[in-house]
A and B are shown apart, each in its own frame.
Chain A
Amino acid sequence: MRLLQVVLFALSIGLWTSCNSSSSENASKDIRLNQYLIEGKKIYESHCANCHQVDGKGFARLYPPIDSVFLRDTTATLQIILMGNKNPLTVKGIEYTLPMPGHDFFTDLELAELSTYLYATWSGQKAQRISTETVKTLRENP
């Protein structure tokens, strides 16, 4: 009898958590976000981490950190990734002068994955997927 109670209790908890955490729509949303985060991390590590470092903290006073204040301007962020920058840039009170190369060869999907990873990791905001449509609009109307 005792055993039955325990089993029933366990089953009800299981049922409660599974129903609560995900309707199937939420689950697929989570999976897509995770896909973007994983791919975005790969892109970051092969194209950005050389200078900005894997932890995003930058290197000495040569390469700036990925900064949450800079990320607030999504258009500027996207533009600097695509077109690079030749002008001095001040981040957290330090002026950086080395040029940043552009990456206009990124596809909309790559850019969306990278941006999703950047914002999830360094903006201080909750992780959310940045869609290819958003990226496309920003890319076409800078």
Chain B
Amino acid sequence: MKKQLLILSFVMSLLACESREAKLPILGNRTTQTEVVNGKLVTDTIYHTIPPFILVDQDSATITEANMNGHITISDFFFTSCPTICPIMKTQMLRVYQAFENDSSILILSHSIDSEHDTVALLRDFAERLDVSSKRWHFLTGPQEDIFELGEKGYIVTTQSDPDAPGGYLHSGAFILVDDQRRIRGIYDGTEPEQVDQLIKDIPRLKKELGL
């Protein structure tokens, strides 16, 4: 009898483990900060966050890091005349958009790395041709150096001019999942449908964790 009870409790504990999903990791370098609180030493972990930025979207609206507050953001880097991976990234990002089209807690930021060519008017035309709303999906432009720096240092992905690359720019095909405190919670290959499936599954998990 005792033995049976033991087995039963073991099985139940296994089931309990399965139903509790692990939290998504917090990515990027982290540092610690020690402070004296009420006479005691308290050590806090400081996570990598997306730094402040000022860019404009397809409606000429100013978009800053403050727009990310209270939202889950999915970011990528592209340019409209890109002949290689961007079209695939856009077909895949459209899947993400369509999955969360009516969810006001989701924000998509597509940063153009070709500021000279991708003007606000051109980005507006691009968004209209994709039939997407600027409430949910912002196509951003601004000073090229700022965008390169935001990509490299903020999102930890490659973004740079390269005359040898098709179309003149080298950039990562990553979709970066960012939480409401601007911490990176996932990096997915936006050219791989299976990875984008995973992103679409991870967003509700993150929403649940953040209570959004």
Contacts and interface: CB of A to CB of B under 8 A. Distances in A.
Interface residues of A, number: 12
Interface string B69-93: 0000000000011011101101100
A128 B183 CA distance: 56
Interface in A20-62: 50-51, 53, 59-62
A62 B81 contact: no
- Shortest 10 CB-CB distances between A and B: which pairs? A61-B129, A101-B83, A51-B87, A50-B87, A60-B130, A62-B129, A50-B88, A99-B81, A60-B129, A59-B91
Given A51-B87, A63-B87, A98 B81 contact: yes
Chain B interface mostly = helix
A97 B118 CA distance: 13
B149 to A, nearest CB: 27
A35 B129 CA distance: 37
Given A53-B91, A97-B125, A101-B166, A62 B130 contact: yes
Interface in A60-118: 60-63, 97-99, 101
B126 interface: yes
A98 B128 CA distance: 13
A62 B166 contact: no
Interface string B36-58: 00000000000000000000000
B127 to A, nearest CB: 10
Contacts of B83: 50-51, 101
A4 B69 CA distance: 85
B131 interface: yes
Contacts of B128: 61
B128 to A, nearest CB: 8
A50 B84 CA distance: 7
B94 interface: yes
